[in-house]
Structure 1
Amino acid sequence: MGRIRRFWSWIAGKPPAQQTQQFPNHQSDSHVASPTAEPKNPTTSVLVVGAGSTGLALAQGLKQSGISCLVVEKHDSIDALGRDWNMGLHWGVQSLRSLITDEMWSHIHSVQVDPSEPPPEHDFLKFLNAQTGECMAAIPVQSFYRLRRRKLRGLLAQGLDVQYGKRLRTLTFSDDGKLATALFDDNTSITASLVVGTDGARSTVRRELLGPNSGRIRQLPYCATFVQARFTAEQAQFLRGFHPLYLAGIHPAGYFAFFGMHDVEDPDRPETWTFFFYISWHCTLEEQEATADWSNSQRLQQVKGFSKCFTDPWRSAFEWVPDDHQVWYMGLTDFDPCASDHRWDNHGGRVTLAGDAAHAMTYQRGQGLNHSITDAAKLVEATNQFLTGKRTPADAIAMYEDEMIARAGGEVSLSSVNTEMVHDWQKVLASPVLTAGVTKRSVDPSN
């Protein structure tokens, strides 16, 4: 408790009971405007904007450290979006373990795509020639967890103070250099000593800090169509026979593909298994704009056409999907915090970014979740630094940002280069995913 008392003495006041403050309904044109009546004390020590995996993991780590924290989420519930996907956690495992309790970690198997199959200590992620089925590379992976995003969020949300339906309008900063206030569309506000934007690739917090142009993500000339589907028991057993969890494919015609499990409801009933698979391809920005209004049927027929020149499991999986099956299409994007116009002002350590809000990256190298969870662990350390008086907030957050930008910013660039190369058969063997696998990019501290 001593460090908390020192913290509250630093901000010159005792914390009130947690409550949401009412704020007049107006739209500020300034990113640094001050409220009409500046609050003297924060509602909470840390406000986390966005209840994704990063924000919830961060909040759990802060809670373990005894730091008061609120999480706000613009959607009405944690499961408001119908879409779900799965992610690979490998070198970021220790960071996640540091953020949650042993009891919570003991349930990590329950959020895997197949809870009945613990990840092997040593495994290989196979990359096939998606035309012939020949194995091009087998990338060694250690303790590779394949986690369902929705279930991971449900696990990480346990015991946290999460307020839903809170859409951020703008941020303001007190004149004394100590507090930040988030104003929401419901005409309420929350004041904190630190606001952390963990609100995804299209982050509102990032746009507040950098403006609408510098703060937006970059659209890349690549697209993908995703499918989640169940099959008959016989079909499901055939498809899973290629690998129990995950498989990647690279096609000479310029396609990249993934195939794997998404949910094993009952290990003994293959008809209850849900598979997750996609094909991505080079697609100019002009073509993306021209096809922006395509129907679900058009998206599915397009990717079914691509799959006809694929080997199994992709060819059969797409063929067996009904023509009216729902798919998910998206253009690939990135946001590189190393770019010259992408370094935000943290206002003396009162606001920062983490996860996709700080470094949105393409997914063919499987790095996003690992960097995002590492951000959360590093940010808990930084927050403890200024709460205990070892560093000022400005120094602690600058330390966090410098490490995060060097580490994850470099990965944004590497992942985008990898995406380009795995869609170009002449360059594919030199792509980072085939030469370096899914290991963490090494960072030269002298740079």
Structure 2
Amino acid sequence: MAAQQESNGITNSESHGDSIDSTVLIIGSGSTGLALAQGLRKAGIKCTVFERIPTRGTRERDWNMGLHWGAPVLKGLIPPESWDKIQTVQVDPHVPTKEEDTLNFINGATGEHMTGFTFGPFYRLRRSKLRALLSQDLDIKYGKSLSNITYAADGTNVTAHFADGTSATGKMLVGADGARSTTRRLLIGPDLGAINRLPYGATFVQTKFSRERALYLRKFHPLFLGSAHPGNCFAFFGMQDAAEADDPASWTFFFYISWRYSLEEQDATADWTDAQRLQQVKELSKSFTDPWKSAFEWTPDDNPVWYLGLTDWDPGLEGHRWDNHGGRVTMVGDAVHPMTYQRGQGLNHSITDAGKLTAAIKTIMEGVEPAKQAEIISAFEDEMIARGGEEVRTSTTNTGMLHDWEKVMKSPVMTAGLNKGVRAG
């Protein structure tokens, strides 16, 4: 039986195996939580993932993410047969991952090549396909929205309480529940734990085109392309899904424009419809070169879109360090270091968190005193906060630079790229 809790309200407690003493509770079935669960499963450690969406396969927004320096960590967390399928998770499974690839940046108004960043291997992964791959053979409970966390008075376990009245108890709880993390708000309060809004907005489009238009748009780069614009905008264009290599009309493209957008303007347009959002970004696109100009022009006015105000949360700020209750509760991924996405670092840091926490939990499960568990988890958090916090600050600074044309042109990265003729992909 679980030890006496510090607070009441446990009802309909769920059982997860022979003993709760070795079970890790993971809140959130995003890429980070699933990668952690796979790492624990590989290490023979019991874990259960709790996801707020009601059922497997519930339709959510889908996008794609860059995996590069975090790839070896993911490879170590998942079974070899899963890593062998990583090519199938790419936005275009028919384009082999290169040992080196180049992300090109062009002048969004003229099409002039500005610079390029060559690195590799670089995987452009579709979020929904990655989650499907990482979900295999895991214990995932759906329809579980976290509402509270309580801790055994004797320091032995932790209990997650859900909005449906159920609860689950384990040795540890890990919040992997994204940028607007409930775990984070529960640990440090609703004010300090709230996401930080930034004065930038972005509208995202996914759509298909005719064969001729699809082939035209894709010729700008097989997978992805970025641009800075003199109008203080940033834009991205790439593939989202190309399952049928010989049927360009079936390809789904993914593209967006982001721009300076004050919090006052964001609040004033908070209730805008998809049609209004699309019209707003179509106006911005008129000053762009292709592929953006044509892609937005060819997008039907009733095409679904989604808008996001950019956000971050810096775990290194004063008051942002949480009590891990003797190493019984911690957080990973966007729950700890949600960052702007123009640098493409989020997934790599999140997977790194999962790898490092898996190693820490393995050490704990080998048998340590309670004080040692707290020390191990605190050391894990120290490294994650330092690494992730620095990236949050760097990414936000980078976002500000990319939306300020004068800073773009003075940036050492851009001037070096122009002067040295960085390779194009």
The answer for the alignment partner of 2:327 in structure 1 is 349
* Residue 311 of structure 1: aligned partner: 289
3-state SS, counterpart of residue 190 of structure 2: helix
Other-structure match for 1:5 = none
Which residue of structure 2 lines up, in the alignment, with residue 282 of structure 1? 260
In the TM superposition, residue 389 of structure 1 has moved relative to its aligned partner by 3.3
Alignment of 1:185-200 (within 5 A): 185-200=163-178
CA distance in 1, matches of 2:338, 2:60: 21
* Aligned counterparts of 2:99 and 2:289: Cα–Cα separation in 1: 29
TM-score, normalization by structure 1: 0.88
Q: Note the residue ranges of structure 1 that are not aligned, 5 or more in a row.
A: 1-12, 16-31, 438-447
TM-score relative to the length of structure 2:
0.93
- Name the structure 1 match of 2:135: 157
C-alpha RMSD of the superposition: 2.2
Secondary structure of 1:384 counterpart: helix
Identity of aligned residues (%): 57
CA contact (8 A) 1:200 1:357 kept: yes
- Residue of structure 1 equivalent to 2:7: 34
What SS does the corresponding residue of 2:23 show, helix, strand or coil?
Answer: strand
1:116-164 CA distances to partner (integer Å, 9 max, x unpaired)?
Answer: 1111101110000000101111111211100000010000000000000
- 1:247 aligns to what? 225
Does residue 104 of structure 1 match 2:82? yes
- TM-superposed CA distance for 1:177, in Å, is 1.2
Q: 1:61 aligned to 2:34?
A: no
The one-letter code sitting in structure 1 at the alignment partner of 2:339 is M
Q: Which secondary structure does the structure 1 equivalent of 2:221 belong to? A: coil
Matches within 5 A, 1:122-271: 122-271=100-249
Unaligned runs of 5+ in 2: 418-425
One-letter amino acid of the counterpart of residue 245, structure 2? P
Residues 73-95 of structure 1, C-alpha deviation per residue, up to 9 Å, x if partnerless? Answer: 00013432331000000000001
Cα separation, partners in 2 of 1:80 and 1:36, compared to 1, 3 Å: closer
Tell me if structure 2 keeps the 8 A contact 1:87–1:148.
yes
Q: Indicate if the aligned counterparts of 2:26 and 2:49 stay in contact, CA closer than 8 A.
A: yes
Deviates further, 80-89 or 382-391? 382-391
Residues 215-241 of structure 1, C-alpha deviations (whole Å, 9 max, x = no match)? 111000000000001000000000000
Instruction: Say if 1:72 and 1:164, in contact at 8 Å, map to a contact too.
Output: yes
Asked if 1 retains the 8 angstrom alpha-carbon contact of 2:203 and 2:307, the reply is: yes
Structure number with the bigger relative contact order (C-alpha 8 A, sep ≥ 6) is 2
Distance 2:22 2:128 in 1: 27
Look up the SS of the partner of 2:119 in the other structure: strand
Equivalent in 66, 69, 89 of residue 91 of structure 1 = 69
Q: Could you tell me which amino acid in structure 1 is paired with residue 375 of structure 2?
A: D
SS at match of 2:164: coil
Structure 1's 309 and 368: CA in aligned 2 closer, same or farther, altered over 3 A?
Answer: same
Matched, 1:296 2:274: yes
Q: Evaluate the alpha carbon distance shift between residue 311 and residue 338 of structure 1 in structure 2; reply closer, same or farther with a 3 A threshold.
A: same
Residue of 52, 60, 69 corresponding to 1:82: 60
Summarize the Cα distance change of 1:78–1:249 in structure 2 as closer, same or farther, 3 Å threshold: farther
SS of the equivalent of 1:426 reads helix
Contact 2:240–2:252 under 8 Å retained in 1: yes
Asked if the contact 1:365/1:433 (under 8 Å) is kept, the reply is: no
For 1:393, which of 350, 373, 376 is the aligned residue?
373
- Verify the 8 A CA contact 1:50 1:199 in the aligned structure 2: yes
**Is 1:406–2:386 an aligned residue pair?**
yes
Q: What do residues 49-84 of structure 1 show as CA deviations (whole Å, max 9, x unaligned)?
A: 000000000000000000000000000134323310
* Residue in structure 2 matched with residue 6 of structure 1 by the alignment: none
CA 1:36–1:314: 2 relative to 1, 3 Å: closer
Deviation of 1:436 (Å): 11
Q: Do 1:44 and 1:70's aligned partners in 2 also have CA atoms closer than 8 Å?
A: no
Q: Which amino acid aligns with 1:381?
A: A
**Which residues in structure 2 correspond to 1:317-332 (within 5 Å)?**
317-332=295-310
For the residue of structure 2 that corresponds to 1:195, the secondary structure is strand
Q: Is the 8 A contact 2:23 2:170 kept in 1?
A: yes
For the residues of structure 2 that align with 1:435 and 1:388, how far apart are their CA atoms? 52
